[in-house]
Amino acid sequence: MEVNIRSVLKQSLLKLNPRHQLRNPVMFCVYVGSCLTTALFIQALIDNGEAPPRFIFCITLSLWFTVLFSNFAESMAEGRGKAQAQALRQTRQETPAKKLKAPDRTAGFTVIPSTDLRQNDWVLVESGDFIPSDGEVLHGIATVNESAITGESAPVIRESGGDRTAVTGGTQVISDWLIIRITANPGETFLDHMITLVEGAKRQKTPNEIALAILLAALTLIFLCVCVSLLPFSLYSVSHNANGQAISITVLVALFVCLAPTTIGGLLSAIGIAGMDRLIQANVIAMSGHAVEAAGDIDILLLDKTGTITMGNRQAIDLIPASGVAVETLADAAQLASLADETPEGHSIVVLTKEKYGLRGRELANMSATFIPFTAETRMSGANVGNRQIRKGAIDAITAHIKQSGGTFPPSVQQHVEHIARQGGTPLIVAEGNQVLGVVHLKDVVKGGIRDRFAQLRKMGIKTIMITGDNPLTAAAIALEAGVDDFIASANPEQKLQLIRKLQNEGHLVAMTGDGTNDAPALAQADVALAMNSGTQAAKEAGNLLDLDSNPTKLIEIVDIGKQLLMTRGTLTTFSLANDIAKYFAILPAAFAATYPALQSLNIMKLHTPHSALLSAVIFNAITIVALIPFALRGIRYRHASASTLLRIHLGLYGIGGVIVPFIGIKALDMLITWLRIV
């Protein structure tokens, strides 16, 4: 989303409101110091000031820029969220709703505005209609275009009685019909909630962010007390020695701003907002900021097999003919029966017969064929070609079809069916008339590249555990192929819950994915719970993260974002505190050289004058905030390595670098200020 820079600059100025500045104790102190030096500058213009007016003016200008740069960083982060929210608002529209008198398509309906719908109302949505509000499918099956929410143009299936019952207001039904029970009142829909989250208007600070803010406030209070106490010490020394010059209030303000953790204090809010923004860009909605931070610290990841580790859409890998049937005959019938099957399984059968058996280039127009599409109700597809009645489908559906036609199910085919089932595959039966021709072996294929991704998680110190309801033999084969660290087979919802509790009692942080009602207890128990947008309402309510793309493997990206958020906050804090070491050598000798001439020996940077040294340090402090804004918004690049390795890298880069850079920067600014004769 493109951010309006003019709007960002305007918001930066509006954030100068004292009530807003109070939210950040560190920057509020800088704000008060800016106001104080402004008053001292005006006083110096009217009467003899405590310092040269030009010096006070330069210090004041630098302090105000420090505050404005901090506001700019926060406004820039918020601006990206507001741009996304505006795009979402454009998708929200008042649509007519067909409110039913009863949850039955024949019950009759009245057309009302979608804003008049309330929770537990029933609505009928037909092909071409927009879904008026969030809800759950009670009856029907349909394809839905959710591109307004997910950004993906490919339609998805929504149906009753499974784990894909949830629908979102503003999406459009492309085919068939649905009866929906409304689950949200106006203003409480998922889209409304999403707009609020991306705008950041009600963003709650995470526990780590709050803890760091308290630490920064405590450090600020300490430096404030130190700086305030220096004035009477300075006055006493000058009076006692009858020599030297007392430190000025302008110098004390400059000293405080440079010693306080203003860099990280100015960027802290922007880091948190930008972290949540990166999550939204990944099409994930965080119900709590704690979940994002916890994702960065998890050490065990529980994953379901189907749809997570495997493709979920089963693929045809083999054809097994019945006794006395040629495999070519089976392939021909399987392909004809699958031409009207729009499911991924049906497409895979057509591809298999083309590639393995060379069945290509059929002249369908000359065949006088009638194709029967696959439906969820019949669980079959087929074709009538002349006198041939070819069917393909689930075992129970084809068995019933054979019996109606006066045929019997051969025992040899039954053995093939059982063998495929024991291997963890899915058998589909192909029949012509009342004769069974054979079996199609469907297998849930492991996703490409998933093994490498699990290897990355292993480098990150995260153990992966696959949980499946499959038998142990099938689970072991899939686990070995996928490269997970461990697996649990024949697992039920209660066992999942007990496992999570056991791992948590051992001190582990556990993440889990789920989309069904039976996953809700385990999702509620997990530290990081990723629910699928396509799943049930119970699962979505139990999760603390919601994936709009309904891609369970996205938890890996969420872990990256969580770690990146923690690393960005930690490294910039390290850099900010390391900066102070160089500032000590720049400011302290300059501030107290007139009072304590012996401190001049600490001027190892050979800065020209006390005033140029102080001004250089204050300007460098402001410039540092500007320079770090891209890092705060983009985040520190995360490398898949162990925690100890990352710690060494970042301590070296941002710790030692944070000490060295100010020496160079302040010295360069001092030379420039001296050359320009600014003070």
How far is the C-alpha of 424 from the C-alpha of 472, rounded, in Å?
A: 10
How far is the C-alpha of 317 from the C-alpha of 113, rounded, in Å?
A: 50
CB atoms within 10 A of CB 419: 14
Q: Mean pLDDT: which of 210-219, 365-374, 585-594, 643-652 is highest? A: 210-219
Q: What confidence score (pLDDT) does residue 201 get?
A: 44
| Token duo for residue 290 | 């704690």
Q: What confidence score (pLDDT) does residue 669 get?
A: 92
Q: What confidence score (pLDDT) does residue 38 get?
A: 95
Whether 395 has a pLDDT exceeding 50, the answer reads: yes
By three-state DSSP, how is residue 559 classified?
Answer: helix
- Lowest average pLDDT, out of 134-138, 194-198, 211-215, 269-273, goes to 194-198
Q: Cα angle at 181 between 178 and 184, to 5 degrees?
A: 125
Q: Is the pTM of this model over 0.85?
A: no
pLDDT tens profile 472-515: 767 787 888 888 899 888 777 788 888 899 999 998 989 888 77
Whether 209 has a pLDDT exceeding 90, the answer reads: no
Query: Which residue among 121, 134, 176, 304 is the active-site one?
Result: 304
Amino acid, res. 616: S
Task: Please spell the DSSP secondary structure of 423-478, one letter per residue.
Answer: TT-EEEEEEETTEEEEEEEEE-PBPTTHHHHHHHHHHTT-EEEEE-SS-HHHHHHH
Whether 151 has a pLDDT exceeding 60, the answer reads: no
pLDDT tens profile 40-93: 999 999 888 888 899 999 999 999 999 999 999 888 877 766 666 666 665 556
396 an active-site residue? no
Instruction: Note the maximum CA span of the chain.
Output: 120
- Lowest average pLDDT, out of 255-269, 293-307, 660-674, goes to 293-307
Q: Estimate the crossing angle of helix 610-634 against helix 53-91, to 10 degrees.
A: 10
The mean of the pLDDT values for the chain is: 82
pLDDT tens profile 518-543: 778 888 888 888 887 766 777 777 88
Work out the average pLDDT over 594-614. 77
pLDDT tens profile 250-277: 988 988 998 888 888 888 888 877 777 7
pLDDT tens profile 544-553: 888 877 776 6
